[in-house]
Chains A and B, each alone.
Chain A
Amino acid sequence: MMVSRRRVIQGLAVLSAGAAGRARAQAPDAVTLRLNAIAYGEHAPIALGVQNGLFAAERIALKLVQGNGSGSTVQIVASKQDAFGYADAGTVMRAVARGLPVRMVGVFQQISPLSVIFFADKGFKQPKDLEGHSIALTAGDALHQLLPAVFRKNGVDQAKVRLLFMDIASKSTAVVDGKADAMGGYFTTQGPQVAAVAKRPTAWLKYADFGVNTIAGGIVVHDDLPKENPDLVRRFLRAAVKSYELAEQQPEAAAEALVKQFPDSSFIAQPGQALAQWQAHRALMRTPRSQGKPPGWVAAADVQDTINLLADNAELSPKGAVNDYVTNELLPG
Chain B
Amino acid sequence: MLAASWQPALAVLLLLAAWQFAVSVLGAPAYLLPSPFAVLQTLTKSAGSIARNGADTLFVTVVSFAAAIVLGVGCAVLICSFRAVERLALPLIVFSQVVPKIAIAPLLVIWLGFSIHSRVIVAFLICFFPIVIGTVTGLKSVEAELVHLTRQLRASRWQSFWLVGLPSALPQMFAGFKVAITLAVVGAIVAEWVGADSGLGYLLLVANGNFDVALAFSVLVALTVGGVVLYGAIELIEHLVLPWHISRRLEVHE
Which residues from chain A sit less than 8 Å from chain B, CB to CB?
71, 74-75, 78-79, 94-95, 98-101, 139-141, 145, 163-167, 169-170, 173-174, 177, 179, 314-315
By the criterion of a CB under 8 Å from any partner CB, how many residues of chain B are at the interface? 25
Check A139–B31 contact: CB distance below 8 A.
no
Check A139–B205 contact: CB distance below 8 A.
yes
Which residues does chain B contribute within 8 Å of A163, judged by CB atoms?
A: 197
CA distance A166 to B213 in the complex (A): 22
Interface residues of B in 183-212 (CB under 8 A from A): 193-197, 202, 205-212
CA distance A141 to B31 in the complex (A): 18
Check B196–A100 contact: CB distance below 8 A.
no
Can you report 23 A-B residue pairs in the complex whose CB atoms are below 8 A from each other?
A71-B211, A78-B31, A95-B31, A95-B211, A99-B30, A100-B211, A139-B209, A140-B202, A140-B205, A140-B209, A140-B210, A163-B197, A164-B114, A165-B114, A165-B197, A166-B106, A166-B109, A166-B110, A167-B194, A170-B109, A170-B194, A173-B107, A179-B113
- Given A95-B211, A165-B196, A167-B195; A177-B110 close (CB under 8 Å): yes
Is B232's CB within 8 Å of the partner chain A?
Answer: no
Nearest CB in chain B: distance from A273 CB, A: 23
CA distance A85 to B106 in the complex (A): 29
CA distance A104 to B222 in the complex (A): 35
- Given A100-B31, A165-B202; A94-B211 close (CB under 8 Å): yes
Nearest CB in chain A: distance from B218 CB, A: 15
Check A140–B208 contact: CB distance below 8 A.
yes
Check A141–B209 contact: CB distance below 8 A.
yes
Q: Which of B196, B205, B206, B211 has the most CB of A within 10 A?
A: B211
- Given A71-B208, A140-B208; A167-B193 close (CB under 8 Å): yes
Check B210–A170 contact: CB distance below 8 A.
no
Which residues does chain A contribute within 8 Å of B74, judged by CB atoms?
A: none
Nearest CB in chain B: distance from A149 CB, A: 16
Beta-carbon nearest neighbor of A164 in chain B: B114
Which residues does chain A contribute within 8 Å of B30, judged by CB atoms?
A: 99
CA distance A165 to B196 in the complex (A): 5
Q: Out of B106, B210, B211, B213, which one reaches A167, CB within 8 Å?
A: B106
Which residues does chain B contribute within 8 Å of A139, judged by CB atoms?
A: 196-197, 202, 205-206, 209
CA distance A174 to B111 in the complex (A): 9
- Given A99-B31, A139-B196, A167-B193; A71-B110 close (CB under 8 Å): no
Nearest CB in chain B: distance from A147 CB, A: 13
CA distance A173 to B193 in the complex (A): 17
CA distance A4 to B161 in the complex (A): 65
Check A98–B195 contact: CB distance below 8 A.
no
Nearest CB in chain B: distance from A67 CB, A: 15
Nearest CB in chain B: distance from A93 CB, A: 10
CA distance A303 to B210 in the complex (A): 18
CA distance A264 to B32 in the complex (A): 32
Which residues does chain A contribute within 8 Å of B211, judged by CB atoms?
A: 71, 74, 94-95, 98, 100
CA distance A94 to B30 in the complex (A): 14
Check B202–A179 contact: CB distance below 8 A.
no
Q: Out of B110, B194, B196, B210, which one reaches A98, CB within 8 Å?
A: B210
Q: Out of A95, A101, A170, A315, which one reaches B106, CB within 8 Å?
A: A170
- Given A99-B29, A99-B31, A165-B114; A170-B195 close (CB under 8 Å): yes
Which residues does chain B contribute within 8 Å of A177, judged by CB atoms?
A: 110
Which residues does chain B contribute within 8 Å of A165, judged by CB atoms?
A: 114, 195-197, 202
Beta-carbon nearest neighbor of B32 in chain A: A79
CA distance A101 to B32 in the complex (A): 11
Q: Out of B32, B196, B205, B210, which one reaches A314, CB within 8 Å?
A: B210
Nearest CB in chain A: distance from B203 CB, A: 9
Nearest CB in chain A: distance from B52 CB, A: 15
CA distance A221 to B195 in the complex (A): 33
